[in-house]
Amino acid sequence: MPKVEVDWTKCNGCGTCDDNCPALVFEIQDLPDYPDSKKSVPVRADDCILCITCVTSCPTGAITVEE
């Protein structure tokens, strides 16, 4: 099962990962610990197909995917 992680200190909530993920792994959400901006959350990490599109498209390098 893939391990998809987002470093919320780097994530700017732009939604690029959500827009580009063919497996619809991400949702952009408000998180209590980051009230000033939305963050990407891998809500369906089990659906990840390991294409790493999210990793390569993230402008801040906030996403990691491991097998």
In the chain, where the domains are located = 3-66
Question: Which residues neighbour 39 within 8 Å (Cβ) at sequence distance 6 or greater?
Answer: 6, 8, 11, 13, 28, 29, 30, 31
In this model, does residue 66 exceed pLDDT 90?
yes
E strands, 1-67, are 3-6, 26-31, 34-42, 63-66
Q: What is the pLDDT of residues 7-44, one digit of tens each?
A: 999 999 999 999 999 999 999 999 999 999 999 999 99
pLDDT confidence of residue 21: 98
In this model, does residue 1 exceed pLDDT 90?
no
Domain at 3-66: CATH architecture: 2-Layer Sandwich (3.30)
